[in-house]
């Protein structure tokens, strides 16, 4: 699997699984039902941020976006978000993207990576981020309205370099 920087031309290939995951409503508090162009700026980052794609056999199977968590005096902490095509989940793509983001943030000189809103019942994500060294520094109770579980917490997770 290759992980490379995404270009504008990659967005139409990311969008189908972006829309499927967002519209399912289990993992992100992003607007649902967005058409292609409206959704683009929600995922495609520009410098100092960056969006990457994971490519397997010429197919885009996942994507991550990363960059400073806050501007100005918070810009030494990175943040990131991840999407793996539901048809390709559970095969190590998310772990490879996670490692890539950690390596990128270290190389760029960030002091750590903060995930702002990990849905507490998103077991694969919580497991994966903990296995990469992230810890739950706090949980905002009932901050996410899950389609099956109702109001659940959002973890703030942090990896300090």
Residue 120 Cβ vs ligand COA, minimum distance, rounded to whole Å: 11
68 versus 136: smaller Cβ distance to ligand COA: 136
Residue 47 Cβ vs ligand COA, minimum distance, rounded to whole Å: 23
Q: Nearest CA to 67 among 38, 28, 41?
A: 41
110 versus 120: smaller Cβ distance to ligand COA: 120
Residue 83 Cβ vs ligand COA, minimum distance, rounded to whole Å: 5
Q: Alpha-carbon distance 31 to 26, whole Å?
A: 12
Q: Classify burial at 47, counting beta carbons within 10 Å of its beta carbon; exposed 0-12, middle 13-18, buried 19 or more.
A: exposed
For strands 112-119 and 59-68, give the pairing: unpaired
Contact positions toward ligand COA, by CB under 6 A? 21, 27, 82-84, 89-95, 115, 118, 122-125, 127-128, 131
């Amino acid at each position: 699997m290759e992980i490379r920087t995404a270009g504008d031309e990659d967005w139409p290939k990311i969008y189908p699984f972006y829309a499927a995951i967002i519209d399912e409503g289990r993992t992100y508090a992003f607007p649902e039902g967005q058409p292609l162009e409206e959704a683009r700026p929600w995922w495609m980052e520009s410098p100092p941020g960056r969006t990457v794609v994971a490519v397997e056999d010429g197919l885009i199977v996942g994507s991550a976006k990363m960059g400073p968590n806050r501007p100005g005096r918070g810009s030494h902490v990175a943040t990131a978000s991840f999407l793996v095509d539901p048809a390709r989940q559970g095969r190590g793509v998310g772990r490879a993207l996670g490692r890539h983001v950690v390596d990128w943030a270290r190389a760029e000189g960030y002091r750590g990576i903060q995930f702002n809103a990990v849905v507490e019942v998103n077991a694969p994500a919580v497991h994966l981020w903990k296995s990469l060294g992230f810890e739950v520094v706090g949980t905002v109770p009932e901050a996410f309205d899950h389609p099956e579980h109702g109001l659940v917490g959002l973890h703030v997770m942090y990896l300090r370099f």
